[in-house]
Amino acid sequence: MARIPKGILGPLSGSVGTVVGASWKGINYIRSKPIDAKRESTVDQLDHQLKFSTVVGFVQPLTAVVEITYKKYAVGMSEYNAAFSYNYANALAGVTPDYTIDYAKALVSRGDLPNAVNMKASITGTDIFFTWEDNSGVGKAATTDMSVIVAYCPELSQTLFSNLAATRSAGAATLKVADFVDRTVQTWLSFVSKDGKEASNSFYTGELVVK
């Protein structure tokens, strides 16, 4: 039962139909009445839940990475939410109920800092070797930019990365991935400025098998 203590133009307390009136910290507001949790979800709702969980399953293990590489896009939201939003819109692939992530389209880093040139990843044993050609001086690219090297293991839902492995001018960096022996990993390379304010779009360096 609803109450309107100051007449029809006053604040609403309680519910009328699908509207609920309430107060928070002295502010009166109305909202929609929540849907009964026991009500069966529609096909569209289930489809949305599948899409959502697919992207969460990808971004969540990368939280520590995107907190470094999505700073510029964390405006009114967290870095995690910025990364989720981009990858939900651009990297989600497949059809219900078999949604997947298109790793080549996914960005684990995002920004307008120039990437290096000829970026590659290869593996020997449990070491992933990332290489690139230094292009310092092109646009905002600087010798002091730090590489961000990433290996994500979908099977374990875990990520190994380093944002302190090497500068842009070094041309190479190594990531130890012994935790992923006998697993397949997805890899990316990107750069962040020395002050951490700028980042490049990540470059997908491919799928590798750790032996």
Q: How far apart are CA 23 and CA 30, in angstroms?
A: 8
Rounded to 10 degrees, what is the CA torsion of 104, 107, 110, 113? -30
Place of tokens 């992530």: 101
Enter the DSSP assignment of 166.
Answer: -
Class of residue 37 by CB neighbours under 10 A (exposed 0-12, middle 13-18, buried 19+): exposed
Enter the DSSP assignment of 76.
Answer: S
Q: Report the pLDDT value the prediction gives residue 44, as an integer from 0 to 100.
A: 84
- The pTM of the full predicted model, rounded to 2 decimals, is 0.80
Q: How far apart are CA 36 and CA 38, in angstroms?
A: 5
**In the chain, which residues fall in CATH 2.60.40.10?**
43-209
Out of 21-25, 99-103, 121-125, 127-131, least confident range: 21-25
Strand partners, 29: 22
Question: What ranges make up the beta strands (E) of 85-183?
Answer: 92-95, 98-101, 117-124, 127-133, 146-153, 158-162, 172-176
**4-37 residue pLDDT tens:** 454 444 454 556 555 666 665 565 555 655 655 5
Evaluate whether 121 touches 129 at the Cβ level (below 8 Å).
yes
Residue 117's pLDDT band (cuts 50, 70, 90):
very high
Residue 43's pLDDT band (cuts 50, 70, 90):
confident
**54-82 residue pLDDT tens:** 999 999 999 999 999 999 999 999 999 99
| CATH architecture under which domain 43-209 falls | Sandwich (2.60)
Total residues found in the chain within this entry: 211
**151-174 residue pLDDT tens:** 999 999 999 999 998 999 999 999
